[in-house]
């Protein structure tokens, strides 16, 4: 009923454009003659402005309004919400923005979308409404006719009304059964026209890029502060102590060689501790074992640092690109950190293999799967680090999926382009 009721309003912009196009066709078809009986130039100019400027502007604005109503309806009824994003090519001037809003490419696209939605609602929605309403009315009218025939005492004429009583509800039931399919096709049409159009996909991509860029900048700044804090509070203090120890040893070399030797031994121990601490600081950046030997050697080392027992399964016939390896290593490390902090798991599994795809579907993928038997319920909005993982994977056009039912563990899967 809603689709059928909105259909006439959605078709009005198309009728406006048909009127404007018809006027242009008439002007082209009829020769212009400055005879006294002909239309004056001023009247022609006013007519042209009304039909070529005002009428199309009203059509695009009405089309935008109908599409806005459809977006609100899709969000309120079906849960389909469009993530808005600014247009990077939008002009800065007020009048330029107004002209773009009224006569830009998006405005004409709204006219096409509104027309397609109106035709769908008029044809398919109208078919269902007619079947249900007319079928019910058909049956009610037949019942009234049966009563009238019985009152008139002519039972021989009951055959036709009885058939109508049976056929009317059948038509109404068929209309009711068709309604869900009509609604499904309507949602598909609106989704394709309003949400999956090329410019909408570009704007969604832009929105994702903007959001992920801001989060990655914040993450990079937080990581920089962590490294600076660790160096200042740890390694820098130890290096200062090492320098003082060596200074004391140098002062004692001539007068007390035994004490100087003890101080040098202490300096050696402090230097080893400084090296260990620097390795701890740089461990999360890019380990040397990953650069030299790849994921089969680096992932067991990362798993060995986890307090939760981790089984590692790596099946790679060859090494992917260095960028893909770095992203996969980061995903595993962050996922294991989340398992330790939030999952309350007894064990975890890391599986890495190459996913071969047909050429028409793009290149191969490096699939990373991290599974645990913890409490589940992982939610990106709760600060579990999943946003950071999503940003890192999305930066190389990969996909990240999380299946985490409450109380049934978590399965995190990252598909990274092999040649990222």
Q: What does each of the 420 residues of the chain score in pLDDT, given as a tens digit? A: 777 778 888 889 989 989 988 888 887 876 554 444 455 778 878 888 888 889 889 989 998 888 888 777 776 776 555 544 445 444 455 777 788 778 877 788 888 888 888 888 888 888 888 888 888 887 788 777 777 777 776 666 667 777 777 887 888 888 888 888 888 887 777 777 766 655 556 666 666 666 666 666 666 666 677 677 666 666 676 787 788 888 888 888 888 888 888 888 888 888 887 787 777 666 656 677 888 888 898 889 888 888 889 999 999 889 988 888 888 988 888 888 888 888 788 899 999 999 887 655 567 899 999 999 888 877 665 555 677 788 778 778 888 888 888 888 889 999 998 887
Q: Rounded CA gap, 364 and 416, in Å?
A: 9
Asked if 55 and 16 count as a contact pair (C-beta separation under 8 A), the reply is: yes
Q: How far apart are the first and last CA of the chain?
A: 50
pLDDT of residue 85: 45
Q: What are phi and psi of 397, to 5 degrees?
A: 65, 30
In what side-by-side order are the strands of the sheet with 365-372? 310-315, 348-355, 365-372, 410-417, 399-403
The confidence score (pLDDT) of residue 350 equals 93
d(CA 298, CA 87): 43
Residue 390 and residue 333 in contact, taking contact as beta carbons nearer than 8 Å: no
In 147-287, beta strands by DSSP E: none
Q: Work out the number of other CB atoms within 10 angstroms of the CB of residue 330.
A: 20
3-state secondary structure 32-53: CCCCCCCCCHHHHHHHHHHHHH
* Mode of pairing for the β-strands spanning 365-372 and 348-355: antiparallel
Integer Cα distance of 39 and 48 in angstroms? 12
How many whole angstroms separate alpha carbon 50 and alpha carbon 317? 70
Predicted pLDDT at 210: 64
What pLDDT does residue 117 have? 84
> d(Cα 351, Cα 317) in Å, to the nearest integer?
14
Residue indicated by tokens 């009509």: 182
Compute the C-alpha angle 296/299/300, nearest 5°.
90
pLDDT of residue 308: 87
Q: Which pLDDT does position 84 carry in this prediction?
A: 46
What is the pLDDT, as a whole number, of residue 312?
92
Collapse the DSSP code of 316 into the 3-class scheme (helix H, G, I; strand E, B; otherwise coil) and give the result: coil
| Structure tokens given for 418 | 């092999």
Q: Helices marked H in 153-284 — which ranges?
A: 159-190, 198-230, 236-252, 257-282
Tokens of 167: 């056929």
**53: closest CA among 85, 91, 16?**
16
Q: Report d(CA 192, CA 120) in Å as an integer.
A: 13
């Amino acid at each position: 009923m809603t689709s059928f009721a909105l259909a006439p309003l959605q078709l009005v912009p198309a009728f406006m454009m048909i009127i404007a196009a018809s006027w242009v066709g008439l002007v082209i078809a009829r020769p212009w003659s400055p005879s006294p009986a002909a239309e004056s130039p001023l009247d022609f100019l006013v007519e042209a402005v009304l039909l070529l400027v005002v009428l199309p502007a009203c059509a695009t604005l009405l089309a935008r309004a109908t599409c806005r109503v459809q977006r609100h309806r899709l969000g309120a009824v079906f849960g389909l919400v469009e993530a808005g994003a600014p247009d990077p090519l939008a002009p800065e001037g007020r009048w330029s923005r107004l002209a773009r809003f009224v006569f830009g490419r998006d405005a004409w696209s709204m006219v096409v979308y509104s027309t397609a939605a109106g035709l769908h609602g008029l044809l398919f929605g109208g078919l269902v409404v007619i079947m249900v309403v007319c079928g019910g009315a058909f049956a009610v009218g037949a019942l009234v006719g049966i009563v009238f025939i019985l009152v008139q005492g002519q039972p021989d004429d009951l055959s036709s009304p009885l058939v109508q009583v049976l056929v009317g509800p059948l038509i109404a039931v068929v209309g009711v059964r068709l309604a869900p399919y009509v609604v499904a096709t309507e949602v598909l049409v609106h989704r394709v026209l309003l949400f999956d159009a090329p410019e909408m996909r570009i704007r969604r991509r832009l929105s994702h890029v903007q959001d992920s860029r801001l989060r990655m900048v914040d993450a990079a700044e937080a990581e920089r502060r962590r490294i600076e804090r660790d160096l200042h509070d740890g390694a820098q203090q130890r290096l200062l102590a090492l320098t003082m120890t060596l200074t004391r040893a140098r002062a004692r070399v001539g007068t007390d060689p035994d004490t100087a030797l003890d101080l040098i031994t202490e300096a050696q121990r402090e230097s080893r501790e400084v090296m260990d601490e620097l390795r701890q600081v740089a461990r999360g950046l890019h380990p040397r074992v990953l650069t030299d030997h790849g994921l089969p050697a680096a992932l067991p080392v990362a798993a060995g640092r986890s307090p939760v027992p981790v089984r590692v399964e790596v099946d790679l016939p060859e090494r992917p690109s260095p960028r893909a390896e770095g992203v996969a290593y980061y995903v595993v490390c962050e996922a294991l950190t989340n398992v330790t902090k939030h999952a309350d798991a007894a064990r975890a599994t890391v599986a890495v293999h190459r996913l071969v795809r047909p050429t028409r579907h793009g290149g191969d993928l490096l699939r990373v799967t991290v599974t645990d038997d913890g409490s589940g319920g992982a939610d990106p909005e709760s600060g579990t680090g999943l946003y950071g993982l999503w940003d890192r994977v999305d930066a190389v056009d990969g996909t990240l999926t999380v299946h985490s039912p409450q109380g049934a563990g978590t399965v995190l899967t990252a598909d990274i382009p092999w040649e990222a």
